[in-house]
Structure 1
Amino acid sequence: MRAVRGATQLEVDERDHLLERVAEMVTGVMTSNQLEVEDFISIVFTSTSDLVSEFPAYAARRLGFGDVPLICARELEIAGSMPRVVRMMAHVETDLTRADVTHVYLHGAAALRRDLTRVHAVPDEA
C-alpha cells in the first residue's frame, strides 16, 4: 500500500471548473502510477475555504469511484497560502516503491511541492 498525493489550483470557484480540475488531477494520478479504480483504498480531498461550489469527491464519483471511501475536508487557513486549491491523498494498492510513486501537482499548484512531483503536465495558461 502507498499514499499518492495530488493538488490542483482553480482559476475561479465554479462548479463545472472544479469538477473538471479535480477529475484531471485524479486521472493524472491514475495514469502516472498505472492505477485502476480497483487499486484505490480511499481518498481524502481537502479544499481551501474559498471553494464552495461543489464537493471535490463528487468528481471522483463521476469517474467510477462509487464504492471507494471518499471524504472531503477543509484545508487549514494559513496567512499567505495559495488560494483555490484542491488537494488529494489517495491510499492505493500498488507494487510501486515509495520512490517510484508519482505525485501530481497541476496548474498553479505545481509550485507547492516541486520536490515531490515529477509531473507538471498542465502548465498555467499565460
Structure 2
Amino acid sequence: MTVRGIRGATTVQQDEEQAVLQSTEALVQEMAEANKIAPSDIISVMISTTVDVKSTFPAKAVRSIEGWKYVPVMCFHEMDVPGGLPLCIRVLMHANSDTPQSDVEHVYQNEAVKLRPDLQK
C-alpha cells in the first residue's frame, strides 16, 4: 500500500456556517467514496479556505462524520491571490491506497470545477 494524495474543492454561495459545514462534508464523503477509502485508511486531511470563508472551521464537518472522529484534520487559509476563486474550500486527503496515482479520482464540486478541468473524469 502507498500513500496517495486525493484533491478536492468546492464553493459556497455565501459564508454561512451551515453552508460551509454541509459543503465540506459532502465533498469529503464523495472524495472517500469515489476512491474507496475508509476512515481507517486516512492519514490526514488538510483543508484550506479562501480568506472570505471564516464563519466556522470546515474541520468540524469532517469530525462529525460517522467513523471520522480520530482522523487528523487541519484548517488554514489559502493564499489571497487577486482574481482567485472566491468562497472556495479546498481539501487534500492523504490516504493509504493500492490505487495507482493516475487512477485517483479527484473531486471538484460547484464553481470549483473551474479549478482543474483536466482532472475531471
Aligned to 2:56: 54
Residue matched to 1:2: 4
1:77 to 69, 80, 93: 80
Q: How many residues get paired?
A: 118
**1:1-126 maps to which residues of 2 (within 5 A)?**
1-63=3-65, 64-118=67-121
Amino acid at match of 1:21: S
Gaps of 5+ in 1: 119-126
Deviation for aligned residue 1:65 = 2.0
Q: Distance in 1 between matches of 2:59 and 2:34?
A: 20
Q: Which amino acid aligns with 2:112?
A: A
Q: Which moved more, 1:71-80 or 1:57-66?
A: 57-66
| 1:26-65 CA-partner distances (Å, limit 9, x unpaired) | 0110111011111100011000000111101111001132
CA distance in 2 between counterparts of 1:74 and 1:13 reads 14
TM-score (norm 1): 0.91
Q: What is the identity percentage for the equivalent residue pairs of Structure 1 and Structure 2?
A: 35
Query: What stretches of structure 2 of length at least 5 have no aligned partner?
Result: none
Q: Deviations over 1:53-108 (max 9, x none)?
A: 11011110011322111100110000000100000101001100001100000000
Aligned-residue Cα RMSD (Å) equals 0.8
The TM-score, its normalising length taken from structure 2, stands at 0.94
Q: Take 2:64 and 2:34, find their aligned partners in 1: how far apart are those partners? A: 20
